[in-house]
Chains A and B, each alone.
Chain A
Amino acid sequence: MFLGVTLLIALIILPFGLGSYGLSLMISVLIFGLFAMSLDILIGYTGLVSFNHATFFGVGAYVVAILFYRGWDNFWLALPAAVAASVLLATVLGLVVLRSSGPYFLMITLAFGQMIFALAWKWRTFTGGDDGLPGIPRPDLGFPVSMWNEQNFYYLVLVFICLSFLLLRQLFRLPLGRAIIGVKESESRMQALGYNTWLLKYLAYVIAAGFAGLAGVLYVYYNGFISPQELNWTMSGMAILMVVIGGTGTLVGPVLGAGIILILQNLLSAYTERWPLVIGMLFVICVIHVKDGIAGYVMKLWEKGWKGYESPGSEKPN
């Protein structure tokens, strides 16, 4: 609790200590942090390694952009519409992909993710094809605060990520959330206890998609541009890396992971064109050396002296 409040205060006063470059980087970190956090619902809490999470991020972003192009640029209408579209897609896709599990699940999600990617690429009249959809303005919230101001937009994103975090933390304290964690720990045990584990996984998949869609909405408003690249598998893989580096099953960890990767990427791309090479090596190093993720590490240190309590599901899924 104390740690959380300190972190929140730090995040609130942060814009005052940052230049415009640092601030825009921080906004990206928070948006991708939310995206990674939503993936953590699957990897860290449900034990599903999904490889098409970028699909829902991208769909959320595309819905906002497409609505804007059709003349609907109301934020309070576009936001729920975009999240609903992601959720809807997940309810349909989930029916197919969740028929399998483990590596099968991973491969099938990857294939479907690329299907949607290909669709966005080819369906020019709607998505603009590989040119993407440029020129999406910052949202007008309806009160006299301009979102074109970076600092205001930062707080908007911060509000959304904090709300999402609180909602999700609460979810995993409720019986429903505990049951989902139970599926990750032992699906057969939960089945024996009479739970419908398929339904629990399905719910987790849909919820995760909704939050990914929300991240996509913030992304397109901030970036002003969406292209099929945001639906590509590299994006899903990057999110997995963020979750694992930050620490699975912690919700906060993935945000930290997003920060590490994005800041690193920014620093590196200033010095070398070869940063994908370095990111690739980071993946390799991460697999060989990082066990619980950074957040897992910090939390263990913290909680050892605090109450000797271990966070649920902080160990890596198999």
Chain B
Amino acid sequence: MEVTQIIIQVLNSISYGLLLFLLAAGLSLIFGLMGVINLAYGSFFMLGVYLSLAVIEQTGSFILALLGAATAVSLVSMVMEVCFIRKIYNRELDQVLLTFGFAYIFMDIVRWCWGGTPQSLPKPVMLQGSISILGAIFPVYRLAVIFVGILLALVLWLIVEKTRMGVIIKAGVDDKEMVSGLGINIRLYFTLIFALGAFLAAVGGVLGGPITGAYLGLDSEILVLALAVVVIGGLGTLKGAFLGSVLIGFMETFGNAFFPNYAMMTIYITMVAVLVLKPNGLLGKDERP
């Protein structure tokens, strides 16, 4: 391998890893902060892809698509949280069934509205083309994914670690009654977190859509990818999710380059290897809820 090729592969790994982080961050947040297993997470992503497709077809604007799809999906998730999820905090099996049911519902709605034919999304005009980095040609769109990924990671880290909201939510997870007793509307915060998770999934969908395309079955693929990232990184830690995604990004990209026939297995092999060494993931805590 030449130096320029290595540079390209490294950049590819990072951009793929950060795309994965966009996918997994919301799931990690919802599980880590609320303890809710959300199997409809991939559906939020898929809704994001399809909604942005609809907006782009109507208006041609990528920005409008991003805003519209993310807002719509967040609103849907808020309704879901207020009407259903709220009733079943701390009930694992019920969460699984409920969110699995919603995955079914969203899947069928997408099939109803858009049909079963796979569709592709155009890349936004301003991000087409490529630039040269140290003599290596690299697509602008991938650089944009890297940029947004890092930005989002920073914003999320600030929200969780440095703001009042983050503190309240972490306290609420430990002792809901106590936090409510302090006069804080903890339910509202939980709803917001759930919506934030869905928002992230939708943003991931709009940004990742041009790479993944839009098809039925995208929901479960994304869910599994996000689960793998979160499991590898350690459930419920954003840092872990970040680390996990970048690790998978590198494994996938370099695995593809060296062993093209086993490409789809690299992510699982990574997962097994990590779990055998650290059952709770790279940065997972030892105690379990």
Does chain B have a CB within 8 A of A159? no
- B contact residues around A96 at 8 Å (CB): 272, 275-276
B280 touches A288 (CB 8 A): no
Residues 231-289 of B contacting A (Cβ, < 8 Å): 231, 235, 264-265, 268, 271-272, 275-276, 279-280, 288-289
- B contact residues around A103 at 8 Å (CB): 31, 35, 37, 92, 235, 289
Does chain B have a CB within 8 A of A208? no
B97 touches A276 (CB 8 A): no
Does chain A have a CB within 8 A of B224? yes
Does chain A have a CB within 8 A of B174? no
Q: Which residue of A lies closest to B37 (CB)?
A: A103
B97 touches A318 (CB 8 A): no
Does chain A have a CB within 8 A of B230? yes
Does chain B have a CB within 8 A of A100? yes
A274 touches B112 (CB 8 A): yes
Max chain A Cβ within 10 angstroms of own Cβ: one of B91, B92, B93, B280: B93
Q: Which residue of B lies closest to A284 (CB)?
A: B101
What does the 1/0 interface line of B97-125 toward A look like (CB < 8 Å)?
Answer: 11011111101110110000000000000
Residues 64-86 of B contacting A (Cβ, < 8 Å): 84
Known: A96-B275, A103-B37, A108-B275. A277 touches B92 (CB 8 A): no
Does chain A have a CB within 8 A of B90? yes
A104 touches B280 (CB 8 A): yes
Does chain A have a CB within 8 A of B87? yes
- A contact residues around B150 at 8 Å (CB): none
B97 touches A241 (CB 8 A): yes
B276 touches A281 (CB 8 A): no
Q: A110 to B112, alpha carbons, bound, how many Å?
A: 27
A240 touches B272 (CB 8 A): no
Does chain B have a CB within 8 A of A118? yes
- B contact residues around A99 at 8 Å (CB): 275-276, 279
> What is the interface of chain B mostly: helix, strand, loop, or mixed?
helix
Known: A100-B279, A102-B92, A107-B231. A237 touches B100 (CB 8 A): yes
* A49 contact from B92, B105, B289, Cβ within 8 A: B92
A-side interface residues, number (CB < 8 Å): 43
Residues 114-154 of A contacting B (Cβ, < 8 Å): 114-115, 118-119, 122
Residues 73-91 of A contacting B (Cβ, < 8 Å): none
Q: A232 to B111, alpha carbons, bound, how many Å?
A: 18
Q: Which residue of B lies closest to A277 (CB)?
A: B108
How many residue pairs at the A-B interface have CB separations less than 8 Å? 130
* B93 contact from A49, A112, A119, A284, Cβ within 8 A: A49
- B contact residues around A106 at 8 Å (CB): 37, 92, 96
Q: A280 to B107, alpha carbons, bound, how many Å?
A: 10
> Nearest-CB distance from B107 to chain A (Å)?
7
* B108 contact from A100, A101, A112, A274, Cβ within 8 A: A274
> Nearest-CB distance from A250 to chain B (Å)?
15
Q: Which residue of B lies closest to A121 (CB)?
A: B264
* A277 contact from B104, B235, B272, B279, Cβ within 8 A: B104
Does chain B have a CB within 8 A of A267? no
- B contact residues around A43 at 8 Å (CB): 93
A276 touches B108 (CB 8 A): yes
Does chain B have a CB within 8 A of A316? yes
- A contact residues around B97 at 8 Å (CB): 237, 240-241, 244, 283, 286-287
Q: A287 to B102, alpha carbons, bound, how many Å?
A: 12
B101 touches A111 (CB 8 A): no
Q: A99 to B281, alpha carbons, bound, how many Å?
A: 11
Known: A276-B104, A316-B93. A111 touches B268 (CB 8 A): yes
* A100 contact from B92, B268, B280, Cβ within 8 A: B280
Q: A261 to B158, alpha carbons, bound, how many Å?
A: 46
B101 touches A114 (CB 8 A): no
- B contact residues around A286 at 8 Å (CB): 97, 101
What does the 1/0 interface line of B137-162 toward A look like (CB < 8 Å)?
Answer: 00000000000000000000000000
- A contact residues around B35 at 8 Å (CB): 103
Residues 295-318 of A contacting B (Cβ, < 8 Å): 316-318
Max chain A Cβ within 10 angstroms of own Cβ: one of B94, B104, B272, B280: B104
Known: A51-B96, A99-B279. A280 touches B105 (CB 8 A): yes
B224 touches A283 (CB 8 A): no
A114 touches B220 (CB 8 A): yes
> Nearest-CB distance from A36 to chain B (Å)?
14
Max chain B Cβ within 10 angstroms of own Cβ: one of A43, A108, A118: A108
Q: What would 13 A/B residue contacts be, using CB atoms closer than 8 Å? A: A100-B280, A103-B235, A107-B230, A112-B268, A240-B96, A277-B112, A280-B103, A280-B107, A281-B101, A284-B105, A288-B87, A317-B92, A318-B90
Residues of B within 8 A of A (CB): 31, 35, 37, 39, 84, 87-88, 90-94, 96-98, 100-105, 107-109, 111-112, 220, 223-224, 227-228, 230-231, 235, 264-265, 268, 271-272, 275-276, 279-280, 288-289
Please give me the 5 A-B residue pairs with the lowest Cβ-Cβ distance, nearest first: A283-B101, A280-B104, A280-B105, A99-B279, A276-B108
